[in-house]
Amino acid sequence: MGNKKTVIVMASSRSKGETRKIVDFVLENSDFDLIDISGKNIGYFDYDYKNKDDDFIPICADIAENYDHIIFATPVYWYIMSAPMKAFFDRLYDLFTTHKDIGRKWKGKTMSVLSCGEDKFVVDGFLMAFKETAKYMTMNYGTEAHGWIENDEVPDAVKELLNGFINKVNS
Ligand SMILES: Cc1cc2nc3c(=O)[nH]c(=O)nc-3n(C[C@H](O)[C@H](O)[C@H](O)COP(=O)(O)O)c2cc1C
C-alpha cells in the first residue's frame, strides 16, 4: 500500500454506538487511523457553497495528504448508508468544483466499506453508491465487510469477518 496509511471515516448518528464497536475491533487489530465525522460540523451540499468553512474541507485535505486507503464505516439505516455519511458523500462534489486541488489528490486512492446493521447482510444495492462514487472519483474500489452486534458485543463470527477484511485491506 506504499508509505501512506489507511483511515476509517466513520459516520453514525451516534459516536459510541454499534458501528463504533465494529470500528473499534478493526482499530485494535490494525494500524488504521480513525476520523469520526459523527460529531463534526459537516453541512449539506449547497450550490452556493454556504458551508465551505465547516469541517469538511480540512478533513478531505488531511485524507489527501496522509492516506492511501479510505474505509467508510456506516450503520445501515433503511438499507443504505447513514444520513451523516450521505451528507459527507454529497459534499465530495466540492472536490470537483471549489477544491479541485484536493480532488486531484484523492484520485488513485482506494475506497472500502465497513457496515453495521441489525441484519446479518446488506441488500443488493447497498454498496452501489460507494462503488459508483469510487469510479466517478477515479478511485479504486477495495473491499467490504458487514457486521452486527449481539448482546452489546462483536460476535465471534463477525470478528472472523473483520479479520479477513483487515487482511484484504493490508494486502
Ligand atoms: C433509522 C434506522 C434505520 C435502520 N435500518 C436498518 C436496515 O435497513 N437494515 C438493518 O440491518 N438494520 C437497520 N437498522 C439497525 C441499525 O443498522 C443497527 O442497529 C446498527 O447496529 C446501529 O448502529 P449505530 O449504533 O452506529 O447507529 C436501522 C436503525 C435505525 C436507527
Using the predicted structure, report yes or no on whether residue 2 has a pLDDT greater than 70: no
Owning domain of residue 10: 5-170
Asked whether the whole model's pTM tops 0.75, one would answer yes
What is the CATH number for 147? 3.40.50.360
pLDDT tens digits along 55-93: 999 999 999 999 999 999 999 999 999 999 999 999 999
Q: Which atom of ligand 1 is nearest to the CA of 76?
A: 17
pLDDT tens digits along 9-31: 999 999 999 999 999 999 999 99
Say if residues 37 and 13 touch (Cβ distance below 8 Å).
no
Region for 6 from its dihedrals, namely left if φ exceeds 0, alpha if ψ lies in -120 to 50, beta otherwise: beta
Residue 129 CB-density burial (10 A; 0-12 exposed, 13-18 middle, 19+ buried): middle
Instruction: Name all residues whose Cβ lies below 6 A of ligand 1.
Output: 12-14, 17-19, 75-79, 116-119, 149
User: What spacing in Å lies between the alpha carbon of 82 and ligand 1's midpoint?
Assistant: 9
Number of domains comprising the chain: 1
What's residue 4's pLDDT? 75
